[in-house]
Structure 1
C-alpha cells in the first residue's frame, strides 16, 4: 500500500496508532497525543491515520479506551489475589477492596494514562460506541464487585443502589489528592496507608447498618 509515495506495511494500523498514542500519553496525558506525533512514531504519513480516525479527537478517544482497559486489567490482577479466600463474604469484600486500591495505585503509577482515561474533554462516545464513563471497563468491574457482595449476602440488596458512586467518589478523590493535591510527593508508604484507610472506610460505609431512624421510618428527634 502506498501513501504519498511512501510504502508501509502494518498488520493492524489502527491498533499500531493507538499503541503509539498510549505511549505518548504515558508521560504527557491526552495533550501529548497528536496525529503527526503518532504517525511519526508508527512510520506512516498523517493521511494514513485519517483512513481510520476522522480527526485527532477520535484518536484520543480510542487511546483513552485503551487506558481504561489498562486500568481494568490492573484491577483484575489485584482482585485475583483474593480468589483464594474460601469464605464468599470475605472474598467479595477483598475483591472490592482490591478494585479501590488498584484504582488509586494506577493513578499514582500511571498519571498520564489516568488523566487521559477520566479527563478526556467532550468524551461522549468511546471507540466501541459506548457512551460516557458508565460503560468503561473499570466502572463495570466496580459494579460486578458490588454485585458480588449482594450475592454473597454481605451487602443487602436495598443498599446496593448508588453504592458505586460512594466507592468511586472516595477513590477518585484520593487519587486527585495523591497526584495533584497535598498528598503529592509524600512517601509511598504514607500514601499507601492513607489509601487503605480511605478504601476501608468506603467499604464499611456502604455495608454499615442504617440508623434506626432510617430503618424504622421514625422521624429524627
Structure 2
C-alpha cells in the first residue's frame, strides 16, 4: 500500500491492521508500517508519538470492526435473543480474527475497567443489557454484574478456544460449546421480580 498524499494517519492505521491481522500486536512496528506505506519512520511520528499510540489507534479500529460484527439484529424477537447475538458475534470475531482479537485486548496497554467503558465492544453489550433493563427483563440492580459476567464468559471462552485447552477442538463442536456458554450465562441473568 503506497501512500500518495492523502491521509497519512489513516494509511498508517490501515497498514497496522494488515500487520496485526495475522501477527497480532507484536507484528506492529513503526519501521514495518512506514515501509509498507512508503514513507520514512519520521513521517509516522508526526501523527503518532510512539508505537504505543499507533497500536492504540489500530486497536480502536479493530474494536469498531468487532462491534459491527457484534451488532444484534434489531428484528430479533426478544432482548435476550439480541444479547445472545452480541455474545456470539464477539466469539465469532475472536475465532475468525485471532490476531486482531489479541491486538484489541492485549496490545494497546490500558486494560483497566475504566478504559473499556467507551469501547465499541463494551457499548454493544451495554446496549443489549440496557434494553433488557428497560423492558423489565433484567433487574436494574443486576445490570453492572451482568455486564462483567457476560463479558467474562465470552472473553474467557475465546481465550480457551484460541490459546487454551479448546484450541484443538473441531470448529463445529467448538461452536456448539460457544452457544452453550452464551446461553448459560444469559439464562442466569435475573429477571425483574
TM-score range, shorter chain: over 0.9
Distance in structure 1 (CA, Å) of the matches to 2:181 and 2:111 = 30
Which structure ranks higher in relative contact order (CA pairs < 8 Å, sequence separation ≥ 6)? 2
Residues 117 and 123, structure 2, Cα contact 8 Å, conserved in 1: yes
Shift of 1:66: 0.8
- 1:31 is the counterpart of 2:22: no
Asked if 1:115 corresponds to 2:102, the answer is: yes
TM-score using structure 2 length: 0.92
**Correspondent of 2:159 among 161, 176, 182:** 176
- How well do the aligned residues superpose, as a CA RMSD in angstroms? 1.8
Shift of 1:48: 0.8
Q: Deviations over 1:123-175 (max 9, x none)?
A: 279xxxxx612221100111111000011221122222321000011111100
In structure 1, the partner of 2:120 is 137
| Aligned twin of 1:218 | none
Give the Cα separation in 2 of the matches to 1:209 and 1:35: 51
* Equivalent residue, structure 2, for 1:158: 141
Instruction: Within 5 Å, give how 1:203-218 maps onto structure 2.
Output: 203-207=186-190
1:67 aligned residue (58, 62, 65): 62
Taking the aligned partners of 2:170 and 2:141, their CA distance within structure 1 comes to 40
Superposition TM-score, scaled by structure 1 size: 0.81
1:20 equivalent in structure 2: 15
Alignment match, 1:167: 150
The structural deviation recorded for 1:97 is 0.3
Q: Larger radius of gyration, structure 1 or 2?
A: 1
Residue 117 of structure 1 aligns to a residue whose secondary structure is: helix
Partner SS for 1:10: coil
Equivalent of 2:47, from 46, 52, 55? 52
Q: Is the 8 A contact 1:68 1:117 kept in 2?
A: yes
For the pair 1:106 / 2:106, whether they are aligned, the reply is no
Query: In the TM superposition, what is the alpha-carbon distance from 1:209 to its structure 2 partner?
Result: 7.7
Q: Secondary structure at the match of 2:24?
A: helix
Tell me the equivalent position of 1:5: none
Contact kept? 1:61, 1:123, Cα under 8 Å? no
- Could you tell me which residue of structure 2 aligns to residue 199 of structure 1? 182
Unaligned runs of 5+ in 2: none
